[in-house]
Amino acid sequence: MKTIMTDKKTAQGLSRGLTNYGDTGFSLFLRKAFIKGAGLTDEALSRPVIGIAMTGSAYNPCHGNTPQLLEALKRGIMLAGGLPMEFPTISLHEGFSQPTSMYLRNLMAMDTEEMIRAQPMDAVVLIGGCDKTVPAQLMGAASAGVPAVQLITGSMLTGSHRGERVGACTDCRRYWAKFRAQEIDQAEIDDVNDQLVPSVGTCSVMGTASTMACISEALGISVPGGASPPAVTADRMRVAEETGRVAVQMAKTGLTPEKILTPEAFENALRVLLAIGGSTNGIVHLAAMAARVGLELDLKALDRMGRDTPVLLNLKPSGEHYMEDFHSAGGMATLLRELKPLLHLDALTCTGRTLGEELERQSAFAQNVVRTRANPIYPQGGIAVLWGNLAPGGAVIKQSAADAKLMEHTGRAVVFENSADLAARIDDPALDVNADDILVLKHIGPKGATMPEAGYLPIPSKLARAGVKDMVRISDGRMSGTAFGTIVLHVTPEAAVGGPLAYVQSGDRIALSVSQRSLQLLVSDDELARRRAATPLPDTSAPRGYRKLFMSTVLQADRGADFDFLQPPITGKVPRG
């Protein structure tokens, strides 16, 4: 038997993290005996071990290309002299996660972290794509501390409905709104249903999945060019092969996540989030990821950053194109080149080169998907942060995807106490609601309802039929990054923990001013105090299991809705400006 180091600090490959039988030599002997049962040789076992966190699942068509990705990735690992070892983790798809994928994100992060830690690997490749998977994997990998690189599954292709190009999920919502307004019939909505998702892969607009793919590349934790290739393309497979090579190199150099996930890298990622018109969910996930390396997301500084970061990417829902168009336009290299003066070009990436060095290696060409800073899609960052007596801890609005006429608006509140109340009354013909009212939904925050994407309240059907397309809507929940509307989200603190939102009543007046970054409930402090005293907090406890863990430890949106015990002490803030 070959001698393999078993000292904890210097152990590599198969001898890392041995199972504890009280005899390290026996532990390694046993491990090798079992893995040889799978036909591996000593030669294979002497190589750097590259774990592959596999998230293929029949329930996750956004990851439907994982068999092809795995083949290309393994090729890259072996070409570079490593030994690929895939292992399964939880996989989350938005449409197949009850009650919400957000409820399970932290479970996936814990699964990822613990399986990286438990199993011997010198580096790990994280295959993720659908909304919660990438943040969960990066949160887990940041805590595990093993060299890690993200491999994005890639976006789906676009479809065509009666000559019109369509893609999930901005067009899902647009067509469903038409159906609710009785502008199209059952036969047409059935036809649309066949065309919205014409291939495997993640949503084809700048939703949360595309946002997290771009953020991952901006952070330097996925390979250059790794964000934009569609799932079913040769470019995507080449990215997978390249990721394998990079993973082996990271294993050899010990390039651990905390060397990449620096304050500079997070500032670059936040800049990109603002410039792509990214999903509001990106803020929650970046807060959670940054906290895993001891950094607190400073919403005030982020909002300041937004004032000098225009939206440049012309993708739905803020613009008109789709992810495959972004890829044809050069992908992230084109965007990052345009943002260059605003970026930390010395931030280290997973390749061992800096972001600036990587940009120098990419060639520029004329295209029409990424605008220049002189001719932006929207003059400020896509997301603005609001404060006021209704949101003392902040709230967010995707201003680039909102109706400009509603961004300075005072109106009468029409309140729904929770999602069930909303479902029961929103389409009631007797509902007392007008187009200039403000719809308020309570109790869909982290503790209230595990923070579903229910903040995109539907327009009451009687108003939709009358042609109303947008209204101001306010909640403590989230919304899909693919949605369009004047929608205030993540109101913090949430209603379920006694945030002021809990005490709004129908008929109150609310003043929204995006230009002033203000969200005010026009009710006196005395009256609010009286309502607070008269309203008991809801019981959010759970008797057992993961739900008990979730309800007893989940943090508010501004802390990333992570579990309190997973975050190390805070040592700094991002952005720092």
Q: How far is the CB of 62 from ligand FES (least distance, A)?
A: 3
Select the span of 200-208, 282-290, 438-446, 465-473 touching ligand FES (CB under 6 A): 200-208
Q: How many CA atoms lie within 13 A of 163 on its CB side?
A: 0
Residue 324 has which token pair? Answer: 């495959």
Using rule CB under 6 A, residue 481 touches ligand FES: no
x/- track of binding to ligand FES for residues 139-178 (CB under 6 A): -----------------------------xx---------
Question: Please, which residue, 295 or 483, has the CB nearer to ligand FES?
Answer: 483
Contact residue for ligand FES among 131, 217, 358, 437 (CB under 6 A)? 131
Question: Please, which residue, 130 or 237, has the CB nearer to ligand FES?
Answer: 130
Q: How far is the CB of 47 from ligand FES (least distance, A)?
A: 34
Q: In sequence order, which residues have a C-beta less than 8 Å from that of residue 81 and are 6 or more positions away?
A: 47, 48, 248
Q: How far is the CB of 216 from ligand FES (least distance, A)?
A: 14
Q: How many CA atoms lie within 13 A of 192 on its CB side?
A: 22
Using rule CB under 6 A, residue 202 touches ligand FES: yes
Question: Please, which residue, 131 or 558, has the CB nearer to ligand FES?
Answer: 131
3-state secondary structure of 487: strand
Bridge partner residues of 509 (DSSP) = 412
Q: How far apart are CA 496 and CA 447, in angstroms?
A: 6
Using rule CB under 6 A, residue 271 touches ligand FES: no
Q: How far is the CB of 130 from ligand FES (least distance, A)?
A: 3
Q: How far apart are CA 351 and CA 354, in angstroms?
A: 8
Using rule CB under 6 A, residue 72 touches ligand FES: no
x/- track of binding to ligand FES for residues 46-65 (CB under 6 A): ----------------x---
Using rule CB under 6 A, residue 207 touches ligand FES: yes
User: Hey, how many other C-beta atoms are within 10 angstroms of the C-beta on 360?
Assistant: 12
Does an H or E element contain 296, and which?
A: strand 295-297
Q: How far apart are CA 329 and CA 228, in angstroms?
A: 10
Question: Please, which residue, 131 or 324, has the CB nearer to ligand FES?
Answer: 131
Question: Please, which residue, 94 or 242, has the CB nearer to ligand FES?
Answer: 94
Q: Pairing relation of β-strands 295-297 and 438-441?
A: unpaired
User: Hey, how many other C-beta atoms are within 10 angstroms of the C-beta on 407?
Assistant: 16
Question: Please, which residue, 85 or 169, has the CB nearer to ligand FES?
Answer: 169
Tell me the residue ranges of DSSP E strands in 62-133.
83-88, 123-128
Question: Please, which residue, 316 or 443, has the CB nearer to ligand FES?
Answer: 316
Contact residue for ligand FES among 130, 339, 383, 501 (CB under 6 A)? 130
Contact residue for ligand FES among 148, 203, 474, 502 (CB under 6 A)? 203
Q: How far is the CB of 143 from ligand FES (least distance, A)?
A: 24
Query: Position 304: which residue type?
Result: R
CA-CA-CA-CA torsion for 340, 345, 348, 349, nearest 10 degrees? 20
Q: Nearest-CA neighbor of 138 among 354, 288, 352?
A: 288
Binders of ligand FES among residues 208 to 227 (CB under 6 A) are 209
x/- track of binding to ligand FES for residues 73-112 (CB under 6 A): --------------------xxx-----------------
Q: How far is the CB of 459 from ligand FES (least distance, A)?
A: 22
CA-CA-CA-CA torsion for 462, 465, 466, 469, nearest 10 degrees? 100
Q: In sequence order, which residues have a C-beta less than 8 Å from that of residue 205 and are 6 or more positions away?
A: 167, 168, 169, 170, 315, 316, 317, 322, 323, 481, 482
Using rule CB under 6 A, residue 453 touches ligand FES: no
Number of residues that bind ligand FES (CB under 6 A): 12
Binding site for ligand FES (CB under 6 A): 62, 93-95, 130-131, 168-169, 202-203, 207, 209
